[in-house]
């Protein structure tokens, strides 16, 4: 082996390789940038070195994606991330009721994550009291055990999923655009609630029909 070849091999070992997602995502693909970012952030990991962007996302898979995204946002990993340029193409609204591909989810979730990271209140180092408006969902009977249940329990405990969330089913049903939107919105509301204190003293009020809710008392007059 010549000295030049040895030098080239050494240089190749020192220079960071491009994102592994590029292995099956063409460089000019419309979702190449958000895909690489979601892989880099650890939100949508690869399977055997491939992103499989055309594959449909299931509810069970979305549980892990939302959990990893919530953890990465709380850890401040999104600092410095910049949103990609908005698409100038026509929006396909059929995807709202239809299944969502990994390409679709990567593009939408990355853009949402960037702006969420910028808008979240500063983190004081520990979670605040969670808003009473976020009703804790009940853990479903399935899955009985394993990593999926652990991730689902994380979402439920931190109120990153709400009552009636499609993610609570954690099944192999393909996720729709509307379900993906709801899952991301609930996760963001949970993150915001963990960083926003509520008043300690509340007045119990009654809604028509007898349903109670709380309201912070007005400041006393001087």
Tell me which range, 47-51, 142-146, 169-173, is most confidently predicted by mean pLDDT: 169-173
Read off the pLDDT band of 183 (50, 70, 90): very high
How do residues 19-49 score in pLDDT, each as one tens digit? 444 589 988 899 999 999 999 999 999 988 8
Specify the pLDDT at position 129: 56
47, β-bridge pairs: 50
Specify the pLDDT at position 37: 95
Read off the pLDDT band of 18 (50, 70, 90): very low
Choice among 64-78, 88-102, 129-143 with the minimum mean pLDDT: 88-102
Residue 91, pLDDT > 70, answer no
Share of the chain above pLDDT 70, in %: 68
Give the CB-side neighbour count of residue 43, counting CA atoms within 13 A: 29
Specify the pLDDT at position 210: 56
Which DSSP letter does residue 100 get? -
Specify the pLDDT at position 168: 96
Sign of torsion over alpha carbons 7, 9, 13, 18: positive
Residue 192, pLDDT > 70, answer yes
Residue 218, pLDDT > 70, answer no
Residue 98, pLDDT > 50, answer yes
Read off the pLDDT band of 173 (50, 70, 90): very high
pTM of the model: 0.76
Specify the pLDDT at position 14: 31
* Alpha carbons 62 and 130: distance in angstroms, whole number: 23
Residue 10, pLDDT > 50, answer no
Tell me which range, 66-70, 157-161, 206-210, is most confidently predicted by mean pLDDT: 66-70
- Contact indicator for 81, 37 with CB cutoff of 8 Å: yes
Specify the pLDDT at position 9: 36
Helix (H), strand (E) at residue 109: helix 102-119
b/e per residue 93-102 (b: at least 16 CB within 10 A): eebeeebbbb
Residue 213, pLDDT > 60, answer no
């Amino acid at each position: 082996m010549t000295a030049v070849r040895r030098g080239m091999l050494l240089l190749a070992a020192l220079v960071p390789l491009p994102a592994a997602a590029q292995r099956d995502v063409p460089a000019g693909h419309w979702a190449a940038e958000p895909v690489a970012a979601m892989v880099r952030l650890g939100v949508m990991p690869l399977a055997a070195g491939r992103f499989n962007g055309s594959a449909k996302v299931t509810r069970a898979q979305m549980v892990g994606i939302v959990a990893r995204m919530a953890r990465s946002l709380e850890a401040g990993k999104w600092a410095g991330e910049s949103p990609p340029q908005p698409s100038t193409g026509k929006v396909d609204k059929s995807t709202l009721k239809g299944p969502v591909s990994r390409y679709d989810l990567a593009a939408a979730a990355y853009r949402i994550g960037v702006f969420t990271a910028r808008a979240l209140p500063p983190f004081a180092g520990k979670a605040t009291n969670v808003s009473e408006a976020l009703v804790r969902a009940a853990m479903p009977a399935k899955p009985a055990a394993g990593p999926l249940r652990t991730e689902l329990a994380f979402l439920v405990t931190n109120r990153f999923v709400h009552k009636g969330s499609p993610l609570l089913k954690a099944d192999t049903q393909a996720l729709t655009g509307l379900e993906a939107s709801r899952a991301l919105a609930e996760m963001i509301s949970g993150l915001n609630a963990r960083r926003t204190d509520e008043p300690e003293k509340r007045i119990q009020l009654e809604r028509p029909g007898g349903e109670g809710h709380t309201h912070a008392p007005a400041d006393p007059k001087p």
